[in-house]
């Protein structure tokens, strides 16, 4: 188990978090650049000290106002973005390096990460994907209670990425924290997500919970949903730019509104008929994704519509065109802020 309730205050940045990770659970940490993800891992690993609060691994206090356990005495395996291999040692020697490792465990991991044919090669001559597999195998070989992975598959070849993902799914006896920018990686490897923005946790939940109702615009962007904050008064919610949206049920006060891109229909002329939200917008960008087309729209609200290729061709849409976007109130997901 990992428990952290504390803060780190620096001259230009502050981090304040409160969360718990269950024993043997895998948690992915997502957030924009500069949100504090790597700093959070450094606190857990002992490379940064808390300004206040407490960090515990299982029942042992690692960091508090009175206690600080040095990194070498923490049962933490850490794989930073730059890997830090011993280039003059062989692949096998790297994986066996930790005093807590064993030759048997190292052989098992070398095989698991498909490094057997490389095991007597110097680590410095390996490719980026091979080096990352070595680094993760070495961290797991040290038999840590906590495994920290900072962007473990970013920029890797597909073979290495596939091997790493497959191997991580087999590690059922390690509590793992995984920093990533890839929501698909997070959802496939993790039971729980932490969304970190500006040094604060803005959402915590399962991948399905985050997808069903993202709490912030950043969370919504991860699952490719539109997100709007507005002031509701009954069935009408008004954004800060004065755009009024019709809701399917009455609310009072600030609300977060999620608009699924596939719920938005586009028209050349203003549509009429049943009550619904109708907004005029300019096409900012068009991207083709398989059988559908994503259309980024700007105006009173910046949002994205996803329409079929047939609809796109029929409308003859181009960047810079003005269109009408319509969506039913029943398609909105609304909750108090």
Tell me what the pLDDT averaged over the chain comes to: 93
Distance of CA 178 to CAs 25, 96, 288, Å? Answer: 11, 23, 31
CATH code that applies to domain 224-336: 2.40.50.100
Element spanning 256, H or E: strand 244-259
pLDDT above 70 coverage of the chain, percent: 99
CA 125 vs. chain centroid, Å, equals: 32
**Domain locations in the chain as residue ranges:** 2-221, 224-336
Write the pLDDT tens digit of every residue in 120-170. 999 999 999 999 999 999 999 999 999 999 999 888 889 999 999 999 998
Average pLDDT of the residues in 105-112: 94
- Give the class (CATH, top level) of 2-221: alpha beta
Element spanning 333, H or E: strand 333-336
Task: Indicate if the alpha-carbon torsion angle 181, 183, 187, 192 is positive or negative.
Answer: positive
The whole-angstrom separation of Cα 5 and Cα 53 is 6
pLDDT of 275 strictly over 70: no
Residue position matching structure tokens 């586009």: 266
The whole-angstrom separation of Cα 273 and Cα 299 is 23
Cα-based torsion angle of the residue sequence 35, 36, 37, 43 in order, rounded to the nearest 10 degrees: -170
| Residues present in the chain in total | 337
Residue position matching structure tokens 């959070």: 40
CA 43 vs. chain centroid, Å, equals: 19
Of the pLDDT bands very low, low, confident and very high (cuts 50, 70, 90), residue 276 is: confident
Model-level pTM?
A: 0.84
Task: Indicate if the alpha-carbon torsion angle 214, 216, 222, 224 is positive or negative.
Answer: positive
Average pLDDT of the residues in 187-214: 93
pLDDT confidence of residue 263? 93
For 207, phi and psi rounded to 5 degrees? -55, -40
């Amino acid at each position: 188990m990992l428990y952290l309730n504390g803060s780190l205050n620096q001259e230009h940045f502050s981090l304040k978090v409160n969360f718990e990770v269950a024993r043997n659970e895998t948690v992915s940490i997502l957030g924009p650049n500069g949100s504090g993800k790597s700093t959070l891992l450094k606190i857990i690993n002992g490379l940064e000290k808390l300004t206040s609060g407490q960090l515990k691994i299982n029942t042992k206090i690692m960091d508090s106002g009175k206690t600080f356990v040095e990194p070498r005495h923490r049962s933490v395996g850490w794989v930073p973005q730059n890997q830090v291999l011993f280039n003059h040692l062989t692949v096998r020697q790297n994986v066996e390096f930790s005093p807590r490792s064993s030759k048997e465990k190292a052989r098992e991991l070398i095989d698991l990460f498909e490094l057997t044919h490389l095991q007597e090669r110097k680590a410095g001559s390996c490719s980026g994907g091979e080096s990352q597999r070595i680094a993760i195998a070495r961290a797991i070989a040290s038999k840590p209670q906590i495994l920290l992975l900072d962007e473990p598959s970013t920029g890797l070849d597909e073979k290495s990425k596939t091997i790493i993902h497959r191997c991580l799914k087999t590690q059922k006896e390690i509590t793992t924290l995984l920093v990533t920018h890839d929501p698909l990686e997070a959802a496939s490897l993790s039971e729980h997500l932490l969304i970190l923005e500006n040094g604060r946790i803005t959402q915590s939940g399962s991948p399905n919970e985050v997808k069903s109702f993202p709490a912030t615009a950043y969370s919504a962007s991860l699952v490719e949903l539109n997100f709007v904050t507005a002031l509701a008064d009954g069935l009408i919610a008004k954004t800060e730019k004065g755009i009024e949206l019709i809701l399917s049920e009455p609310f009072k006060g600030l609300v977060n509104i999620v608009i699924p891109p596939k719920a938005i229909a586009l028209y050349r002329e203003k549509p009429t008929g049943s009550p619904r939200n109708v907004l005029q917008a300019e096409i900012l960008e068009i991207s083709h994704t398989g059988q559908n087309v994503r259309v980024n729209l700007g105006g009173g609200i910046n949002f994205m519509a996803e329409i079929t290729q047939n609809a796109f061709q029929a409308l003859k849409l181009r960047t810079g065109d003005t269109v009408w976007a319509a969506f039913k109130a029943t398609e909105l997901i609304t909750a108090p802020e």
